[in-house]
């Protein structure tokens, strides 16, 4: 438990967060899956915490033939099934009153005029004075139409005017390569100022990801060691047990490199590797993160084969049940060369990280869901307790467990009790669950709150998205050139292909067992 005379850390965290301003949140794609599974449950939990503004309305927009009542029923079902906290029957009627539905199509200009009239009515009833957040939970190829129509209907206020604010939230994928990402960003920039655009990378909303900076810069003991003098290498794993599921339509055109590495994993890397920002101002933090991406050594030409492994899952087992290989999944081409697994080695060519390899791996249908960043420190000199070259001491490893089982552990050497000097690796362990008790808020809770408060720290800035693609593009280009008709396979339920092990072994290292 927290120290006794400390304030309750969860309450302190909430009171420190910026205040969400009264606003309406209009969700395009409001009758869709994201709204039901993530957005509404997140808003409900914010309401339970009492941090939603008193004057607030959610307006789901979609083509489904819903009315306010149906939308509320679907929302209720979403909360019952997906919320981290149970639905409280006493509280629900209050929350439900702020939910509305507007039937309309993204493509139909008339819908926007109707939406404007509806919003004005709802806002008058809910005491909202024109602050608006538009959530584009729609395919990226509809962004342009939606943004332009919002402007044409007079639904976008200038970012620097004295009047109410307009903000827009977009989800990944922001493009599928650098050129298309620029196009999406340009489209949005025609209508919105960068300060009005909130690009979600939901990994940044995870408590454990936010904790990386607190751990690094809120403690005196890590930062002096956080560099090439003391760190041997870093391993970053984002493992998923699930397969492609029902998302083959999207995933076939994406693959693990685009789906996970370009965004979530490079963002995690930025948090681990960035220089200390001098303030928590959103742009100062994001400038420092951007520098990491700019310092990534390009992986091009022959280097791609040497440093990047891609693979696809074959048939295997998931929790004891036989599961099909990727090519046999519904909606996947029988000759698909979409990678479901990527492992790579990269370098950050700056003073701090010169020569330190970072190993990244991510895949679907691995043995379990487990994401972790493991910082491996250099060995102690081979004298005293580390003299035996055949049985070297285990090095210190700081493991930041992103999910599940959130926490961090430090592996250190200790003396085994007894008359002889025998050294044994032991772990110092911090677990969120046992320390803070309550389940951590979901990423979308924090992110939605931040948009309403106007804090963009945890959102992707245009330059970072484009810099990530600029680094990813040559890898994609090399893969395209190779014209592979077959990828290395790994068994579903296994830890990836042997090629990924070789990537490590060539430097005398190995992947951690999670």
Binding residues for ligand BG6, rule: CB under 6 A, are 202, 240, 259
Name beta bridge partners: 408: 400, 430
Nearer to ligand BG6, 24 or 263 (CB): 263
- Alpha helical stretches, state H, 218-331: 248-251, 256, 266-273, 282-294, 302-307
Backbone angles phi, psi at 103, to 5 degrees: -85, 125
Give the nearest distance from C-beta 362 to ligand BG6 in angstroms.
Answer: 9
Nearer to ligand BG6, 37 or 63 (CB): 37
Give the nearest distance from C-beta 240 to ligand BG6 in angstroms.
Answer: 5
Nearer to ligand BG6, 240 or 372 (CB): 240
Give the nearest distance from C-beta 202 to ligand BG6 in angstroms.
Answer: 6
- With both helix axes pointing from N to C terminus, report the angle between 109-126 and 143-152 in degrees, rounded to the nearest 10: 60
Give the nearest distance from C-beta 378 to ligand BG6 in angstroms.
Answer: 31
Nearer to ligand BG6, 348 or 492 (CB): 492
Give the nearest distance from C-beta 148 to ligand BG6 in angstroms.
Answer: 27
Q: What residue has token string 């309305």?
A: 57
Nearer to ligand BG6, 205 or 316 (CB): 205
Q: What residue has token string 């100022």?
A: 193
Dist. CA 329–CA 244, nearest whole Å: 8
- With both helix axes pointing from N to C terminus, report the angle between 266-273 and 207-217 in degrees, rounded to the nearest 10: 20
Q: Which of 123, 43, 52, 53 is nearest to 84 (CA)?
A: 43
Q: Which of 208, 209, 136, 147 is nearest to 172 (CA)?
A: 136
Nearer to ligand BG6, 157 or 180 (CB): 180
Largest CA distance in the chain: 84
* 3-state DSSP of 303-344: HHHHHEEEEEEEEEEECCEEECCHHHCCCCCCCCCCCCEEEE
Q: Give the length of the chain.
A: 514
Nearer to ligand BG6, 238 or 296 (CB): 238
With residue 45 as reference, give the H or E element that holds it.
Answer: helix 40-49
DSSP-derived letter for residue 296 is B
Give the nearest distance from C-beta 306 to ligand BG6 in angstroms.
Answer: 27
Give the nearest distance from C-beta 446 to ligand BG6 in angstroms.
Answer: 13
Q: What residue has token string 């990047």?
A: 308
Give the nearest distance from C-beta 292 to ligand BG6 in angstroms.
Answer: 20
Name beta bridge partners: 403: 371
Dist. CA 364–CA 342, nearest whole Å: 10
Residue nearest to ligand BG6 (CB): 259
Q: Which of 78, 79, 71 is nearest to 100 (CA)?
A: 71
Q: Which residues are catalytic?
A: 264
Dist. CA 88–CA 479, nearest whole Å: 51
Nearer to ligand BG6, 128 or 261 (CB): 261
Under 8 Å between Cβ of 231 and 397: no
Backbone angles phi, psi at 394, to 5 degrees: -65, 140
């Amino acid at each position: 438990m927290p120290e006794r005379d400390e304030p309750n850390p969860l309450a302190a965290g909430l009171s420190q967060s910026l205040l969400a301003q009264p606003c309406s949140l209009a969700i395009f794609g409001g009758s869709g899956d994201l709204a039901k599974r993530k957005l509404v449950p997140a808003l409900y939990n914010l309401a339970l915490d009492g941090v939603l503004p008193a004057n607030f309305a959610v307006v789901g927009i979609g083509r489904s033939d819903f009315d306010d009542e149906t939308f509320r029923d679907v929302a209720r079902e979403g909360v019952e099934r997906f919320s981290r906290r149970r639905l409280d029957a006493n509280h629900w009627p209050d929350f439900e009153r702020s939910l509305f539905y507007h039937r309309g199509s993204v493509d139909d200009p008339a819908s926007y005029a109707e939406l404007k009239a509806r919003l004005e009515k709802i806002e008058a009833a809910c005491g909202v004075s024109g602050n608006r957040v538009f959530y584009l939970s729609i395919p990226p190829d509809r962004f342009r139409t939606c943004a332009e129509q919002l402007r044409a209907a007079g639904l976008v206020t200038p970012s620097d005017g004295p009047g109410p604010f307009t903000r827009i939230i977009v989800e990944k994928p922001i493009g599928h390569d650098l050129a298309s990402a620029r196009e999406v960003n340009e489209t949005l920039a025609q209508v919105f100022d960068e300060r009005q655009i909130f690009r979600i990378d939901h990994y940044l909303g995870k408590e454990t990801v936010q904790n990386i900076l607190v751990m690094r810069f809120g403690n005196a003991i890590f930062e002096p060691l956080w560099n090439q003098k003391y760190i041997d290498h870093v391993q970053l794993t984002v493992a998923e047990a699930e397969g492609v599921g029902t998302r083959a339509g999207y995933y076939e055109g994406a693959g693990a490199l685009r789906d996970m590495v370009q965004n979530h994993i490079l963002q995690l890397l930025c948090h681990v590797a960035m220089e200390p920002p001098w303030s928590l101002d959103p742009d100062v933090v994001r400038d420092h993160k951007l520098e990491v991406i700019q310092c990534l050594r390009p992986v091009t030409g022959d280097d791609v084969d040497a440093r990047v492994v891609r693979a696809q899952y074959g048939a295997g087992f998931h929790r004891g049940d036989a599961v099909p290989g990727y090519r046999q999944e519904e909606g996947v081409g029988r000759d698909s060369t979409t990678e479901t697994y990527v492992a790579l080695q990269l370098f950050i060519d700056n003073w701090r990280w010169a020569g330190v390899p970072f190993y990244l791996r991510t895949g679907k249908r691995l043995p379990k869901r487990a994401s972790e960043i493991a910082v491996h420190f250099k060995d102690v000199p081979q004298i005293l307790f580390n003299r035996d070259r055949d049985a070297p001491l285990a090095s210190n490893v700081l493991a930041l467990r992103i999910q599940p089982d959130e926490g961090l552990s430090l592996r250190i050497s200790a003396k085994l009790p007894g008359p002889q000097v025998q050294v044994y690796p032991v772990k110092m362990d911090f677990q969120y669950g046992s320390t803070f008790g309550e389940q951590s808020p979901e990423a979308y809770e924090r992110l939605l709150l931040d948009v309403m408060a106007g804090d963009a720290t945890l959102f992707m800035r245009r330059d970072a998205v484009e810099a990530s693609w600029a680094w990813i593009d040559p890898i994609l280009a090399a893969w395209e050139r190779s014209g592979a008709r077959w990828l290395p396979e790994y068994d579903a339920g296994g830890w990836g292909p042997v090629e990924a092990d070789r990537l490590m072994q060539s430097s005398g290292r190995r992947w951690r067992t999670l």
